[in-house]
């Protein structure tokens, strides 16, 4: 997302953290709508933490945001504001004003939220879905009919036969690595590609990324 964007949207383990960067609420909603359309399946069923800090919010602005999120099946969960009028307004609509179990100071050893990774040690079977805002590492296979969706990179130490989607918030620099990369579909940011239809003889480790607007998969060679 560029610096001029009217908002930042960041996946965190607690929820999606939305921070408006402009006073123009209409522009914020407009940009948000675009972002939600792009990754609808990923956000669906999720919840949003709105980080306002000093900016006061009117009731109309609050309700417009909540309606937009609800149309995408997303809950407006927490509004973080330093403005006491805004806090009262938010609470009157049954929305939290602080994160549960929030500590005053973030622990200094924790990695930034978007650099956290989820480690999964099992095979994902047909019908199972793994969604995580950070990176995902799977020690096991991703079988046909299973899906892994990550905000960051995806590393599969095993066979990939299902669907993997890296950079689901639009990060086109995301990578997908696997010991045997033969997915039914490969997605990075908003790019989609399929595996070649013919069956492969010898699986080898591969790494997929976006180059010149296309997803390419290259065999992993030790340098």
Partner 1 sequence: MGKIITVSSGKGGVGKTTTTANLGLGLAMLGKRVICIDADIGLRNLDVMLGLENRIVYDIVNVIEGRCELKKALVRDKRYPALKLLPAAQTRDKNAISEEDMENLAHQAAEITDYVLIDSPAGIEHGFRYATRPAELVLIVTNPEVSAVRDADRVIGLLEANGRAEAKLIINRMRPEMVRRNEMLDADEVVELLAIDLIGIIPDDQDILAAANRGQPVVLDDRSETGQAFRDITQRLEGADIPFLPLKGPSLLQKIFGR
What residues numbered 107-136 form the site for partner 1, per CB under 8 A? 122-128
The piece of 7-15, 69-77, 103-111, 143-151 that touches partner 1 (CB under 8 A) is 143-151
Strands (DSSP E) contained in 55-184 are 75-81, 117-120, 129-132, 135-139, 147-150, 154-160, 163-166, 176-181
Angle at 11 between CA 5 and CA 16, to 5 degrees: 85
**x/- site string to partner 1, residues 151 to 190, per CB under 8 A?**
----------x-----------------------------
Residue with tokens 């939220």: 113
Cα–Cα distance, 174 to 136 (Å, whole number): 11
Cα–Cα distance, 161 to 32 (Å, whole number): 33
| 188 CB-side CA count, 13 A | 21
Residue (45 or 127) nearer to partner 1, CB: 127
- How near is the Cβ of 98 to partner 1 at its closest, in Å? 33
Cα–Cα distance, 182 to 159 (Å, whole number): 7
Per DSSP, what are the bridge partners of residue 139? 157
- For position 205 contacting partner 1 by CB under 8 A, the verdict is no
- For position 145 contacting partner 1 by CB under 8 A, the verdict is yes
Angle at 57 between CA 53 and CA 63, to 5 degrees: 125
- How near is the Cβ of 123 to partner 1 at its closest, in Å? 6
List 61, 141, 147, 171, residue binding partner 1 (CB under 8 A): 141
Residue (157 or 191) nearer to partner 1, CB: 157
What residues numbered 45-84 form the site for partner 1, per CB under 8 A? none
- For position 97 contacting partner 1 by CB under 8 A, the verdict is no
List 8, 22, 51, 143, residue binding partner 1 (CB under 8 A): 143
- For position 195 contacting partner 1 by CB under 8 A, the verdict is no
Contact set with partner 1 (CB under 8 A) = 122-128, 141, 143-146, 161
């Amino acid at each position: 997302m560029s610096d001029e964007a009217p908002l930042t949207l960041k996946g965190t383990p607690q929820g999606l953290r939305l921070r408006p960067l402009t006073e123009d609420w209409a522009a914020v909603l407009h940009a948000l709508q675009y972002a939600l359309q792009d990754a609808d399946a990923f956000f669906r069923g999720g919840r949003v933490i709105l980080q306002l800090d000093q900016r006061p919010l009117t009731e109309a602005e609050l309700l417009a945001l909540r309606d937009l999120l609800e149309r995408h099946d997303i809950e407006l969960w927490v509004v973080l504001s330093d403005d006491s009028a805004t806090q009262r307004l938010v609470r009157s609509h049954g929305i939290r004003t602080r994160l549960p179990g929030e500590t005053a100071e973030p622990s200094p050893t924790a990695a930034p939220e978007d650099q956290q990774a989820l480690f999964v040690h099992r095979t994902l079977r047909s019908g199972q879905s793994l969604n995580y805002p950070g990176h995902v590492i799977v020690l096991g296979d991703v079988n046909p009919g299973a899906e892994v969706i990550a905000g960051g990179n995806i590393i599969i130490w095993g066979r990939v036969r299902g669907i993997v989607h890296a950079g689901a918030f639009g990060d086109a620099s995301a990578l997908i690595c696997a010991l045997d990369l033969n997915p039914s579909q490969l997605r990075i940011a908003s790019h989609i590609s399929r595996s070649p239809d013919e069956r492969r003889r010898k699986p080898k480790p591969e790494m997929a990324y976006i180059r010149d607007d296309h997803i390419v998969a290259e065999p992993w060679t030790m340098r």
